[in-house]
Structure 1
Amino acid sequence: MNDAVVHPAEAALFDDALSCSLLLPAQFQVDATVQRPGSSEMLLRSVALVEDARGNDDADERGDASLQLQRLEARLDLTLVLLGRLLQQSAPQLPATPLRWSRHGLRLHLANASGAAIGSKGVVRLQPAEWLPDSIELPVEVLAEASDTTGSLLWLRLHNPSEALSAALERHLFRLHRKQIADSRRPR
C-alpha cells in the first residue's frame, strides 16, 4: 500500500491528522445510509475497553489470579472467533481492502472504480478489529476518485459525524497507530 500518493484529496484527509494504513474488511456503498445510528460509537468504545484492559497487565503484577484471568480471556477470545466464523458464514463478508484512515476520512484502494460522483453521500462499513466479527458504519462523502496501476483510489470524507463518534474514532485510530509502531519495533 502506497502512502506517498500525491493528490489534493490526500492532503485534505491526512495532512494534519494521525493516520493508519491497514488492510481491513471494508466496503463503500454509495447512496446508502447508516442503518444502526449510535452502534458504531458503542462498538468502538467496547473495542477500546477490551483492548485497553488487555494492555494494562503489568509483568510484575502477574499472580495466580492474573493468570486465571488471562486463561479466561483466551477462552473468550477463542469463543468469539468461533462465533464470528459461524456468523460470517450466514452473512456476506466484507472484502479485505487496503485503506488509509484518519479522523477526517478514508482512502480505499479498490480493484475497480466505484463510479460514484464527487459529492455523493454513502456509507463505509468496516471491521475495526480482527477479533470482532462485526462492522461499524461511517457516513461519508466522496471527495475524489482516481485510477492507479492496480485499481482505483477512492477518497471519502466523514460526513457530519457526531462528536461522540469522532472521539471514539480518534481513540481507535490512536490505538491502531500505537500498535503499528510497536509491531514495527519488534524483531522479526
Structure 2
Amino acid sequence: MNAENARAQVFGDSLVCEETRAAAFVPMEFDPAAVRVACQRAEALLHSIAIIEDGKVEESDERGAHEHALQRVEAKLDLLTSLVATLVSSHRPPPAPRRLQWSALGACLAAEADGAGNAPGSNGMFRVQACDWLPEPLELPATVLASVADASGHHLWLRFQPLPPPLVSAVERHLFRIHRRAVAEARRPR
C-alpha cells in the first residue's frame, strides 16, 4: 500500500492534527480482554484531560461552579492514581518525540526503517503522550496499514482497531482541543 492509499484509510474526512509528541508503535498480539481494558483506560484518561483542560466554568450559578470544581479535583485524583499505578507496574522508558499526524481513525508517525514488527498487518498499541503536562501515555490498539519510505523519511501508517463510540468521541474532542490551540497560537501576534 502506498502513502496516498494509507492516508485515505487513516484520515478520511476526519480532523487531522500534526504535532511533535512522544509516540511509538509497540507490536503485540491482541487479547480481546486486554484491548477492552486499554480502550476503557484511554477513554478515562481522555475524559480526565478534558475536564482539567476545559477548566472554564460556563455556568454562572454558584452550584455549577462548585460541581465543576469537584469534577476537576476528581479528574486530577483519577490521573494521579493512574500515574502511580503506571510507576508501580513498569519502568519502561517513554517513547521518543517524533513527528506525527493523527486523527480519530489512525496515525502516521516517523519510524525507524528497520523497525521489527512494523510489517503491514502487524497489530500493536499506538502510544502517545496526549499532553505536555502528563507523562501517562494514551494507548490505542492499532494495525499497521503501511510502512513507507519517501523523501521525508520512513513513515508508519496505523489504523486504529474499531474503537467504542465513546472513545472515538473522546479522541475527536481531544484532537479538536489540540487544533484549537494551534489555531490560537498561529493567530497570536509575534
TM-score w.r.t. length of structure 1: 0.74
The one-character-per-residue Cα deviations of 1:109-128 (angstroms, maximum 9, x if unpaired) are: 11334342212211111110
CA distance in 2, matches of 1:123, 1:186: 36
Larger CA deviation: 142-151 vs 132-141: 142-151
Pairwise CA distance, 1:170: 0.7
- Count of aligned pairs: 158
Percent identity over paired residues: 38
Task: Give the one of 131, 134, 155 matched to 1:132.
Answer: 134
The one-character-per-residue Cα deviations of 1:88-123 (angstroms, maximum 9, x if unpaired) are: xx5412110110001110001113343422122111
Residue type matched to 2:6 in 1? A
Pairwise CA distance, 1:12: 1.8
Give the secondary structure class of the aligned counterpart of 2:110.
strand
Equivalent residues in 2 for 1:72-151, closer than 5 Å: 91-115=92-116, 116-151=118-153
The one-character-per-residue Cα deviations of 1:132-158 (angstroms, maximum 9, x if unpaired) are: 010111000111111124531110001
Task: Give the one of 166, 169, 180 matched to 1:167.
Answer: 169
Pairwise CA distance, 1:10: 1.0
Please tell me whether the aligned partners of residues 19 and 102 of structure 1 are also in contact (alpha carbons under 8 angstroms). yes
CA distance in 2, matches of 1:150, 1:46: 36
Residue 27 of structure 1 corresponds to 24
Please tell me whether the aligned partners of residues 3 and 146 of structure 2 are also in contact (alpha carbons under 8 angstroms). no
TM-score w.r.t. length of structure 2: 0.73
CA distance in 1, matches of 2:3, 2:135: 34
The one-character-per-residue Cα deviations of 1:49-108 (angstroms, maximum 9, x if unpaired) are: 00000xx279xxxxxxxxxx9xxx9xx9xxx9xx99xx6xx5412110110001110001
Please tell me whether the aligned partners of residues 126 and 135 of structure 1 are also in contact (alpha carbons under 8 angstroms). yes
Residue 8 of structure 1 corresponds to 5
Please tell me whether the aligned partners of residues 107 and 156 of structure 1 are also in contact (alpha carbons under 8 angstroms). yes
Q: Does 1:179 align with 2:181?
A: yes
Residue 61 of structure 1 corresponds to none
Provide structure 2 residue ranges, at least 5 long, that are not aligned to the other structure: 59-68
Residue type matched to 1:119 in 2? G
Pairwise CA distance, 1:31: 2.1
Residues 24/173 of structure 1: CA separation in 2 closer, same or farther (3 Å cut) = same
RMSD over aligned Cα atoms: 2.7
Residue 18 of structure 1 corresponds to 15
CA distance in 1, matches of 2:169, 2:98: 24
CA distance in 2, matches of 1:135, 1:123: 11
Give the secondary structure class of the aligned counterpart of 1:174.
helix
Please tell me whether the aligned partners of residues 32 and 123 of structure 1 are also in contact (alpha carbons under 8 angstroms). no
Residues 113/107 of structure 1: CA separation in 2 closer, same or farther (3 Å cut) = farther
Give the secondary structure class of the aligned counterpart of 1:114.
coil
Give the secondary structure class of the aligned counterpart of 1:133.
strand
Residue 154 of structure 2 corresponds to 152
